[in-house]
Amino acid sequence: MTPSVGTIDATRPPRPAPCDDLATWDREHVWHAFTQMQEYEPLLIERGEGAWLVDTSGRRYIDGSASMWCNVHGHRHPRLDAAVREQLDRVAHVTNLGLSNPTTVAFARRLVEIAPPGLDRVFFTGDGSSATEAALKMAFQYWRQAARPEPARTRFVAIGDAYHGDTLGAIGVGGVDRFTALFAPLTFDALRLPSPALPRPGTATPPSLAESLAGLEALLVAHAGTVAAVIMEPLVQMAGGVLVHPEGFLRGVREITQRHDVLLILDEIAVGFGRTGTMFACEQEAVVPDLLCLAKGLTAGYLPMAATLATGRIWEAFLGTHAEHRTFFHGHTYGGNPLAAAVGLASLDIFRDEDVLAELPAKIARLEAGVARLAALPHVGAVRQCGLVAGVELVHTVADAARARPAVPYPWQEQRGTRACLAARRHGALLRQLGDVVVVMPPLCIDDDEIDLLVAAAEAGVVEATA
Ligand SMILES: Cc1ncc(COP(=O)(O)O)c(C=O)c1O
């Protein structure tokens, strides 16, 4: 009997899956994130070890993007692997809607212990966008339920070129046009503060630190009583193109928000867990936000989990009897997943036991020395670095200060950044671009020799793509 469409044919032997088939199925069935599928060339990674990834044909690559900015201690770290296995022997998932489990509680407690003081309530979600989405909704709801309610506070101030995720709320406060412009009719209208990041080739000179802070002050005065919160990525705007803020910007924003009694949401999704050299970027300017968004490195790059940490002030506004209707009616099925919490706990143990932060300054210096070489290449307009991440910006023509000529960017259609990253693969590194910025962002566990290999591969990729 021929099985009808939609039934399982038990007589058919299981299909073997040679790599060629997998590559075809990948192209045909998997819709990859941020990827033009018509041009997609499959690369299937089968294994990982430390800072390395291995494809199905056995080729090894340094994981130069930390598997999209989240891997911290390397792939297949024995302690992280063991933590997942041990939790699996207990339970893989229980809901956190009105219920809990010991691992997730312990993880929340550890997060509170290491977070900036006062951020002692933890709301778990599944990915970074969900963490910022939750923070925005918390800030909005807070002002309706605060001891002295101010329901007119419904707006958000966001920094130009910001990136806070892809859900509609998150892109409402996002400022990278190629990700957000199409969806503008669906999103809310945030107030924008131009990014004070260091000058970028081919863009207007950014405002100085003083101008930026004066701009924020003016915005909050002009919209007095209507702003719920300022949201920003502290120290460096990653997806905007590794845009490093001038020192003092974060501190200045905190002072101004406090003066105007506006909440501050810090998005440490990309920079939290050591990336900038300290556990949290906001520590470097001694700033404590009202809401702190974490994801990516939260589970060392093992499992999807995010967290929005809130102060007692926020939390208390949500307390009351059910009938008072102050509950935060928000959450996701897998929020607080115990497998993710187990690996997050083990990751914090590794930070504590293995001197991860203490070893960072030397690694950061090594990366700095390496990328300085790239800065001298004829089509590199700028190299920006913050901690263990560097952005190498490719340009058609570099600026000529003597003749007061600004840099000329490449036409975006030429995709020089993408070409550089694809070329770097042939030299043994997996990198990811942001437009024409090649981002070098390895796991924190990378060693000196690996940093040198990574930089050399990036350099070869840039040279080939700009030849
Ligand atoms: C600063 C920042 N916020 C939010 C996000 C969104 O996180 P996710 O991709 O996990 O939704 C990202 C992702 O790159 C990010 O860099």
- pLDDT tens digits, one per residue of 375-427: 999 999 999 999 999 999 999 999 888 888 888 999 999 999 999 999 999 99
Lowest mean pLDDT of 10-24, 71-85, 446-460, name the range: 10-24
Range in 8-17, 103-112, 321-330 the model is least confident about: 8-17
Gap between the Cα atoms of 60 and 230, Å rounded: 43
Question: What residues line ligand 1, using a CB cutoff of 6 Å?
Answer: 127-129, 132, 163-165, 233, 238-239, 267, 269-270, 295
CA of 19 to the centre of ligand 1 (A): 31
CATH architecture of 82-353: 3-Layer(aba) Sandwich (3.40)
- Residue 381 CA, ligand 1 centroid: distance in Å: 26
| Cα–Cα distances in angstroms (integers) from residue 413 to residues 110, 408, 417, 418, in the given order | 47, 14, 11, 11
pTM of the model: 0.95
The sign of the CA dihedral 192, 193, 199, 203 is positive
Residue limits of CATH 3.90.1150.10 in the chain? 19-72+357-465
What's the CA gap between 438 and 418, in Å, rounded? 8
Q: Which atom of ligand 1 is nearest to the CA of 69?
A: 14
Which regions of the chain carry the CATH code 3.40.640.10?
A: 82-353
Cβ proximity of 301 and 343 under 8 Å: no
Q: Is the pLDDT of residue 3 over 50?
A: no
d(CA 274, ligand 1 centre) in Å: 16
Q: What is the mean pLDDT of residues 213-229?
A: 98
User: Tokens 């003597």, residue?
Assistant: 402
What are 4-41's pLDDT values in tens digits? 444 445 555 555 577 789 999 999 999 999 999 999 99
**In the 8-state DSSP scheme, what is residue 71?**
-
Backbone angles phi, psi at 411, to 5 degrees: -55, 135
Q: Tell me which of 3.90.1200.10, 3.90.1150.10, 3.50.50.60, 3.40.640.10 is the CATH number of domain 19-72+357-465.
A: 3.90.1150.10
Stretch 177-181: mean pLDDT: 90
pLDDT (mean) for 130-141: 98
pLDDT digit string, tens, across residues 249-276: 999 999 999 999 999 999 999 999 999 9
What value, to the nearest 5°, has the Cα angle with vertex 431 and ends 337 and 417? 125
Burial of 111 (0-12, 13-18, 19+ CB in 10 A): buried
pLDDT at position 13: 55
Measured between alpha carbons, how far is 241 from 390 in angstroms, rounded to an integer? 10
- Helices 338-353, 78-88: inter-axial angle, 10-degree rounding: 150
* Average pLDDT value for residue range 269-297: 98
